[in-house]
Structure formats: C-alpha cells, structure tokens
A and B are shown apart, each in its own frame.
Chain A
C-alpha cells in the first residue's frame, strides 16, 4: 500500500527526518510511536505533501507521490486526520463531511448520502449534531468529525495523528473501537499515538521513531514485550493511567 524509502525532510535548514524507511501493507494497522518532537507529525505531513521531501521515495499503491502537490495526493487515496482537530469551524457538521467527500465529487448524490449515513453510523453523535457549527462541538466530537471527514474521501490509506490526545478515557476507548472497526472493514490505517500501549494493542505492526530515525520495528506484540519500548514509552503510560 505505502512504501517509504530513505525519506528525508525538514523545515528550512532543520533536518527532522533522517533516512526513514517503512511500509504499510493493505488491510494493516501500523502504528508509529515516539517521543514529543521525534518527527511523527513531520513524517505524516511529508507523506501528504504538506512538507516537501528533500530526498527519498514515497510510493503509494505502486506510484511515486513525493513530488505531487498535497491536494493531488488526497486524490490518490491517502487521507490524513491532522493533529489537533482541524475542522472547518465556521461550517456545519454536514458541510464538513460534504467537503471531505470533495475528492469523490463526481459521485452521484445517492452515494454522497450513503457516505454520510455511513459516517453517522460510525459516530452517532454527529448525526444528532449535523446542523451544528463544527467550531461549537466538544473536543471529542470535533475529533470524530475530523475522522469522519477524512473517511468521506473513501481513502485507501487513512493516517491518524494522535486521535486520542486530550480526550476523556471513555471517548478514547470509543476512538480505538472505531479504528478496529475500520480494520475489520478492510481499511488500512497508519496510526500515531502518544498512548503507545493502546496503539500497540490495536496495531498489527509498529515502528519506533526517535529524533527522526526509526530505531525499532516489529510486530505489535513483540514491541509491547520489548524492554526498551516498555521503559521509554510504556512505563510512562502505566504511571499516567
């Protein structure tokens, strides 16, 4: 599905990503864990084209996308739910979803309606609030809307950047349940999480990113059992919970 080879990227003179290689197979949930500032968001931004790669390759469904513009990459079937719930605050919930389906705008009205119904099914609270302005939703509802909007594009690969940050435990649980449901329905997910334990529990495989380099990769259960990972990323989790 997605294959990244020796990817480098940064901001101006600052090199953030250093020779990153990773891949995501169809139907998999892959998680990327790492401390604050490790470059996780930068990696997703580079895949979506918001940040330019300075070297290396990004191959999506067999095609190189590293030189495409961000708005074109979405059309290739890769959607990002960005960090920090970037909803269209001045527009209604339904309008947000309709805009999410923009890459599918040649589809009929009927498919659009079905797509929206599917999202309302995943997140019933959005149905209740469909006419409300997105900016007036609660943080959790906004996160669900951001996920729903990305799913409206019917992406082959959906990337989630810290979907559970700042949410109550019950809402976090719900979000992870939905990520699992996405996999059951055959979606491919690349998940970034601070909550490494929860992420590794739903994921098939994982990568550990440290100061812009991948220092560890493996099956999710192996990583969960790994001593270094436990000390660096899971220990803190245990204390916090």
Chain B
C-alpha cells in the first residue's frame, strides 16, 4: 500500500468514523437520561440534511443549516412530548418498539415530502472537483469540514456536561432520577432536552456530511446501525468511548476495502455488533459491573 493510498483510507475512515461517533453520542445522551435506546437517531441525521437542502432554496447555506438544526431539534422535542413523555415507567421492549415505530414514521414522512431521490447540499468550500493535499492524499475540503465540525461538537458537548448547570442537571438525571427530582430538577424536561440535544447534533452531522455522502430519505437506518454499534462498542453511555469506538469502526471499514469487496462494507459493522454482543456486551471499554446494572 502506498503512502498516498494509506492516507486516503485513513482520512475516509476518520471522516465516517466521526460521523458514526456523533450518532453514537446521540444514542448515549438519550440512553443516559432515560435508559432508552432511541432507534430513530439516524432519522435525525437524515432530517437535518433534507431540511437544510430544502431551505437552501430560500436561505444562504449557513443560515439554512442553522435553521435546519433548530427545526430538527424541535422535531426531537415533539417526538419526545408526543410519544415518550406520557409513558409511566415503560418496559425496555416497549420503548424499543416505540422508537422503531417513530423511525419508520419519520422515514415514511420524509419519503412523502422529499421523494426517494438522492439529494445533497452544495460543498461548503469549492465544488466537487476541488481538492486539497492532506498527508500526501488529495481530498475534498469537505472532509476537513466534517472532521472539524464533528470534533468541535464533541468538545462542546463535553464542556456542556462538565461546566454548565443544564449539563449537570442532565448528568444528575442519568445518575439517579429520584435524587434529581428531590433536588428540584424536572426529569421530564431533562428528557426532552436530551432528545433535542441528540436531534441537534445528529442534524448538524447530517448537514456537513451531505455533500460527500449524499442524503436520501432512508439513510437513517444504516446510520442508526453504525451508531448503535459504536455506542455498544464504547460501552453504552460514555461519550468519549463512543468517539474512540466510532473512529475504530470508521477505520476498520475504510481499510477493509483493500481486503474485502466494497459490497461487504456494511456487513462489517453488523458482524462487529454481533461479536460484541456475544463476547463483550459491556463494550470494549465499559466495565462489567456497569453492564450488570443495565436493564438488558
């Protein structure tokens, strides 16, 4: 393998990996405050891309993206308020079925609104043939946008949870729902907030990746599987571990192209997911004790 090819794979791996990480973190945020695995997580990414694409008809690109993120956050809140909020201590199975139902609903609505065509946002800088030299490889500047924006999101999220009162309140809900209530924290509002936050980061990721990966009404499913794999791989709940796991999955996929045919690329994530669920259900980095505390 030449150095150039190596760098090419590396960058592709990091690009996809960090997107998976964002989807995985979306899973984690909701899981932490509610114990729910939200299988509609991928749909937020799709909605972000699609909404922004539609809005570029009327708005300049940055505004369209900003507005799309806000719209998808509101959709996230709406989903929580309509489908989740009124449930009183639902079982895990019921929650899984509900979130899968929500994802189908959103996908069908998207098919209805946008059709089944493949769309994409324009490149943020230059066009599809613009390239820049990175580590000896020629890549589109959009790759750097994806990596940069996602990295900033990860950083912002960890600062949010560490230093802001809202972040601490969400963490408190995750740690002990009853104690949080007794401190005067509205756990229901925190759950809504966690849906908004997950929807928001998913939507932004959906926008920055759109020029290179394209957006279609059904991309959510695949992303949800990848993101779920990453979340599980990192040991559900830990955002930093999800980043590591995301990059790992992205790199494995990228480099596997040189070994197995492209068509099998998606099978890798599934294989990995099954392998983890069989052999290390608490994730690569999670502890066994923590896994024992989880509901399934």
State how many angstroms separate the Cβ of A218 from the closest Cβ of chain B.
30
| B207 → A minimal CB distance (Å) | 32
Known: A88-B171, A91-B171, A95-B168. Contact between A102 and B185, CB under 8 A?
Answer: yes
**Nearest CB in chain B: distance from A82 CB, A:** 6
> Which residues of chain A in 149-200 are interfacial with respect to chain B, using CB atoms and an 8 Å cutoff?
149-150, 153
Distance (Å) between the CB of A234 and the closest chain B CB? Answer: 31
Measured in the bound complex, the distance between the Cα atoms of B178 and A124 in whole Å is 26
A205-222 interface bits toward B, Cβ cutoff 8 Å, 1 = contact, 0 = none: 000000000000000000
CA distance A80 to B185 in the complex (A): 14
A98-B168, A99-B168 known; A88-B181 Cβ under 8 A? no
Number of interface residues of B (CB under 8 A): 18
A79, A87, A88: most-surrounded residue (chain B CB, <10 A): A88
Tell me, yes or no, whether A42 is within 8 Å of chain B by CB.
no
Task: Report yes or no: B185 in contact with A71, Cβ–Cβ below 8 A.
Answer: yes
Distance, CA A98 to CA B168, complexed state (A): 9
User: Is the CB–CB distance between A102 and B171 below 8 Å?
Assistant: no
Q: How far is the CA of A50 from the CA of B171 in the complex (A)?
A: 20
Residue of B nearest to A103 (CB): B184
- Please judge, given known A-B contacts A98-B168, A99-B169, A102-B169, whether A90 and B175 are in contact too, CB under 8 Å: yes
Chain A residues within 8 Å of B187, by CB: 71
Give the contacting residue for A86; candidates B165, B179, B186; CB below 8 A: B179
Give Cα distance in the complex from A149 to B184, angstroms: 12
Q: Is B182's CB within 8 Å of the partner chain A? A: yes
- Cβ contact within 8 Å between A90 and B181: no
Known: A82-B178, A87-B179, A88-B176. A75 touches B184 (CB 8 A): yes
Any chain A CB within 8 A of the CB of B174?
yes
In the complex, the answer to whether A88 meets B179 with C-beta atoms within 8 Å is yes
Given A91-B171, A99-B169, also A74-B183 (CB < 8 A): yes
Q: Give chain B residues whose Cβ lies under 8 Å from the Cβ of A227.
A: none
Question: Once the chains bind, are A103 and B183 in contact (CB under 8 Å)?
Answer: yes
**Does any Cβ of A come within 8 Å of B248's Cβ?**
no
| Chain A residues numbered 42-88 whose CB sits less than 8 Å from any CB in chain B | 48, 50, 69-72, 74-75, 79-80, 82, 86-88
- Cβ of A100 within 8 Å of any chain B Cβ, yes or no, is yes
Asked if residues B185 and A90 are in contact (CB atoms below 8 Å), the reply is no
B176 touches A99 (CB 8 A): no
Please state if A70 and B182 are interface contacts (CB–CB under 8 Å): yes
CB contact between A71 and one of B165, B168, B184 (< 8 Å): that residue: B184
Knowing A88-B175, A89-B175, A90-B175, the reply to whether A82 touches B165 (Cβ < 8 A) is: no
Per the 8 Å Cβ criterion, residues 97-154 of B in contact with A are: none
Task: Determine the chain A residues whose CB is within 8 A of the CB of B182 once the complex forms.
Answer: 48, 50, 70, 74, 79-80, 82, 86, 150
- Say if the beta carbon of B224 comes within 8 Å of chain A: no
Given A71-B184, A74-B184, A75-B184, A50:B178 Cβ within 8 A: yes
Residue of A nearest to B165 (CB): A105
Do A89 and B176 touch (CB < 8 A)?
Answer: yes
- CB-based nearest B residue for A81: B182
A-B CB contact pairs (8 Å), 13 listed: A48-B182, A70-B181, A71-B184, A71-B187, A80-B182, A82-B179, A82-B182, A87-B176, A88-B172, A89-B175, A99-B169, A102-B169, A102-B183
- Return the 3 tightest CB-CB contacts between A and B, nearest first: A74-B184, A88-B175, A86-B179
Please report A residues at the B interface, Cβ cutoff 8 Å.
Answer: 48, 50, 69-72, 74-75, 79-80, 82, 86-91, 95, 98-100, 102-103, 105, 146, 149-150, 153
